[in-house]
Amino acid sequence: MKRYFNSLAETMSADELKSLQNRRLGETLRWVLTRNDYYRKRFTALGLKQPEDFGDMEQLPELPTLNKEDFRQTYPLGMCCVGNNEIREMHMSSGSTGSPVVMPYNEADLEQWAECMARCYVMAGAVSGNPVQITPSFGLFNGGFGMYHGARKAELFVIPTGSGNTERQVRLAKDFNTKILCGVVSYTIRILEVMREMKIELPCLKIGIFGAESFSDGMRKRIELELGIESFDIYGMTETGGVGTLGMDCPAHAGIHVWEDQYLVEVLDPVTGKPLPDGQQGEIVVTSLTRQALPVIRFRTGDLSKIVSREKCDCGRTHLRIAPITGRTDDMLIIKGVNFFPKQVEHALLEIPGVLPHYQIVIEEVDGVRDVRINVEADETVTGYMVEKHLKERLGFSPKGDVFKPGELPRQDGKAQRVFYKNNNH
């Protein structure tokens, strides 16, 4: 059965969608040019003084791109297009590498966020009254609130646990017959461990909606098998307005549907900034079409993906699909002349029978020379030689590392840290 939260928007024809996108793009450009000095100066420098100077989406590559540095330079609200009296909520990134990225919301933005998230819930199979357990934290990070706003819009039964206290998470899921679990994949692995320790099963749990970190097909299949659920990869970030704003994969699992009536997506060469053809991997660049407090115009996300299809999906939705995020332009590791991403390590490790989904990638630097150590948990049938040999075949070099017994590597309640840096310079 095909299910939509907003069938008119999710299944509109290509011509209808293009017409809507052109109209909304013009409205967004007019909005930022008349309401924000930072945008006005950037566009005027290129000769774009009025929205009428801009014809349609074909001219989008002529506009300047934004990145996180623009948010940091204008911290806290220098890119905001509404007055403080109109702001109803704000969220922000951690700012671990500089000033945090702040995203303000007016009433219309909160409604837009709820609409996008509600579409994701219904696409995953949620129906009114289903208990949904929201494990991301409720705070400055957008995850918990985004899941909450969407669940309210979709008329679900919200269990707002937030992060941590995993034993309580399991008990509540059991007691309230949780059907939908929202969070990050790495924390779901922790929930599975605690379920085994407590000897509790969750037969009512059927749907997992996971975001905020990329995960391999191997990790996804393992979680689905052990929990007896169907999992979905949800996409969105602080700069686009939060979790779920960009989209999610449908039950066909043939790519992430981007809500194209809400956002334009480009794929650019990360080095040259030039547009890439469909099917070629590059950096995802996003333009918001309906947000008001802080619309982004050609925001370079740093996420790596590709457009896999613009054709109508088996689920009936007509919005384009992108591949699951491979990694980020800034998390690629280069060791001994070999380039790889943490997700590739996870994929390779989980191909080894007996290896558990807990691992560490430790980057060691001695006198300016980088090496990598990959530690992993596994059962007694797995040896260090087996791990090294398999990673050599998959990554092209032989990393050092140790095999630990189940439970010996540290755990985090929430998003797991996979990459660690160790400097042994003298």
- What are 139-188's pLDDT values in tens digits? 999 999 999 999 999 999 999 999 889 999 999 999 999 999 999 888 89
Q: Is the peptide bond before 324 cis (omega within 30 degrees of 0)?
A: no
Tokens of 304: 């790596």
Q: Average the pLDDT over each of 242-251, 262-271, 344-353 and give the range with the smallest value.
A: 344-353
**How far is residue 41's CA from residue 383's CA, in Å, rounded to a whole number?**
60
Strands 327-328 and 333-335 turn out to be: unpaired
Q: Using only the alpha carbons of the chain, give its radius of gyration.
A: 22
Cβ 353 vs Cβ 404: under 8 Å: no
Q: What integer is the mean pLDDT of 319-336?
A: 82
Tokens of 156: 């679900």
Distance of CA 243 to the CA centre of its chain: 7
Give the three-state DSSP class for 149: helix
Dump pLDDT digits (tens) for 34-59: 999 999 998 888 777 666 667 678 88
**How far is residue 246's CA from residue 234's CA, in Å, rounded to a whole number?**
8
Which pTM was predicted?
A: 0.84
Instruction: Please give the pLDDT value at position 398.
Output: 76
Instruction: Please give the pLDDT value at position 366.
Output: 66
Q: Average the pLDDT over each of 233-237, 291-295, 389-393 and give the range with the smallest value.
A: 389-393
Strand order across the 242-249 sheet: 157-159, 131-134, 180-183, 207-210, 230-237, 242-249, 256-258, 321-322, 307-309
96 has a pLDDT exceeding 60: no
97 has a pLDDT exceeding 70: no
294 has a pLDDT exceeding 90: yes
Strands 230-237 and 256-258 turn out to be: unpaired
Q: What integer is the mean pLDDT of 285-289?
A: 98
197 has a pLDDT exceeding 50: yes
Mean pLDDT of the chain: 90
Instruction: Please give the pLDDT value at position 311.
Output: 97
337 has a pLDDT exceeding 70: no
Instruction: Please give the pLDDT value at position 162.
Output: 92
Residues with Cβ within 8 Å of 205's Cβ and at least 6 positions away in sequence, in order, are: 173, 178, 179, 180, 181, 227, 228, 229
20 has a pLDDT exceeding 50: yes
Cβ 200 vs Cβ 177: under 8 Å: no
Angle at 184 between CA 179 and CA 187, to 5 degrees: 90
Residues with Cβ within 8 Å of 155's Cβ and at least 6 positions away in sequence, in order, are: 128, 129
Q: What is the CATH number of domain 333-423?
A: 3.30.300.30
Residues with Cβ within 8 Å of 386's Cβ and at least 6 positions away in sequence, in order, are: 352
For tokens 């929201």, what's the residue?
134
Q: According to the per-residue pLDDT averaged within each range, which of 152-161, 366-375, 396-405 is highest?
A: 152-161
* Structure-model confidence comparison of residues 130 and 410, the more confident one: 130
**How far is residue 96's CA from residue 258's CA, in Å, rounded to a whole number?**
28
418 has a pLDDT exceeding 90: no
pLDDT category of residue 426 using cuts at 50, 70 and 90: very low
Q: What integer is the mean pLDDT of 103-115?
A: 98
Q: What integer is the mean pLDDT of 67-78?
A: 93
368: region left, alpha or beta (phi > 0 left; psi from -120 to 50 alpha): left
Instruction: Please give the pLDDT value at position 394.
Output: 79
Please report, for the chain, the start and end positions of each structural domain, with discontinuous segments joined by +.
Answer: 1-328, 333-423
User: Domain 1-328 maps to which CATH number in 3.40.50.2300, 3.40.640.10, 3.10.129.10, 3.40.50.12780?
Assistant: 3.40.50.12780
Residues with Cβ within 8 Å of 148's Cβ and at least 6 positions away in sequence, in order, are: 134, 138, 158, 160
* Structure-model confidence comparison of residues 214 and 123, the more confident one: 123
